[in-house]
Amino acid sequence: MMRTECLPDLQEKLDTMLRDRLRALLAVTLSLLGTAAVGFFALLLMGERTAENPRLVAADGSQVAWAIPVTPSLVLCDGEQGENVRLSLGGAERIALTKVRVGALSSGGKLTLYRTASPLPDAVVPVVSSAENGQRAWVSVPTQTRWEGALMERSAGVFEPQPAITLGAGLPAYSVVDRSLIGITAQDRSAIVVVSMSAVITAFPEVRAGQ
């Protein structure tokens, strides 16, 4: 009889113990999920900054132009640049460059192609694809507001950004969907346009060959 009377107390203790364990498990699970989410967004942000950091610098460390890695050994930059420059990836290291040539774009602008003395890290070499009419894209520069909008094809390989881009020429344009490099901003009279990487590769077949 006494054993029967003790059963409700025992059941209550077991229920309490089970609830406590479930609460502890839930707290650990939520903590792990929170940590994973923070890490995921940190990686996204870090990846975006990495794509923006490469730059051409002079012997005194001053910036000459933004640099756009297109293969592990080739980078492009806006305009007609000289020989005595190096590549900075944001740290103290400076990578020696050899000027390959200057090429003209269909928009009328020019780009300079350089070959690196050593292979670039995978983190700064994007997947290269081509811009498409109506595609969503983004362009950004450190310390400035990120642009995001649609690319509307004006002529073969040349796209008008909507809204207008005010960040300047010689910047990489990335797909919002997969973050691939789809074009490079260029000056076209009084406006900034995006020249598709397909048109860039036509002007610089070395990029396709990876040389």
CATH number for the domain harbouring residue 140: 2.40.10.10
Predicted confidence band of residue 45 (pLDDT cuts 50, 70, 90): very low
Q: Do 202 and 130 share a structural domain?
A: yes
What is the reported pTM?
Answer: 0.73
Q: Do 135 and 116 lie in a common domain?
A: no
pLDDT digits (tens, 9 = 90+) for 106-158: 888 899 999 999 999 998 999 999 999 999 999 998 878 899 999 999 999 99
C-alpha span between 118 and 133 (Å, rounded): 36
Same domain for 89 and 139?
no
d(CA 54, CA 42): 19
Q: What is the pLDDT of residue 17?
A: 77
Which range, of 32-46, 54-68, 86-100, averages the lowest pLDDT?
32-46
pLDDT of 142:
80
pLDDT at 7 over 80: no
Say if residues 145 and 138 touch (Cβ distance below 8 Å). no
Residues 73 and 9 in one domain: no
Q: Given 68, 92, 123, which residue is the final one in a domain?
A: 123
Strands 181-188 and 55-57: unpaired
Domain that holds residue 179: 125-209
Question: Distance between CA 73 and CA 206 in Å, rounded?
Answer: 11
Q: Token pair 């997947």 is at which residue?
A: 127
Which of 37, 52, 67 is at the close of a domain? Answer: 52
Q: Are 127 and 133 in contact (CB under 8 A)?
A: no
Query: If you count them, how many residues does the chain have?
Result: 211
Residues 110 and 135 in one domain: no
Same structural domain, 34 and 109: no
| Omega before residue 119 within 30° of 0, cis | no
What confidence score (pLDDT) does residue 23 get? 80
Shared domain check, 164 and 193: yes
Domains contained in the chain, number? 3
> Based on the domain organization, do 169 and 119 belong to the same domain?
no
Q: pLDDT tens across 189-199, in order?
A: 889 999 999 99
35-49 mean pLDDT: 43
Asked whether the predicted pLDDT for residue 52 surpasses 50, the reply is: no
Beta strands in 12-91 (DSSP E): 55-57, 63-71, 74-78, 86-88
Kindly list the distances between the CA atom of residue 56 and the CA atoms of 26, 66, 111, 190, in Å, as whole numbers in the listed order. Answer: 50, 6, 13, 25
Cβ atoms of 131 and 137 closer than 8 Å: yes
* Cβ neighbours around 159 below 10 Å, total: 27
Check pLDDT > 80 for residue 53: no
Residue 72 sits at φ, ψ, to 5 deg, of -65, -10
- At 90 the pLDDT is 78
Among candidate residues 58, 76, 60, the one with its CA nearest the CA of residue 68: 76
| 81 vs 8, residue with greater confidence | 81
Q: In angstroms, what CA-CA distances link 149 with 42, 53, 116, 140, 199? A: 23, 22, 32, 12, 20
pLDDT band at 38 (very low <50, low <70, confident <90, very high): very low
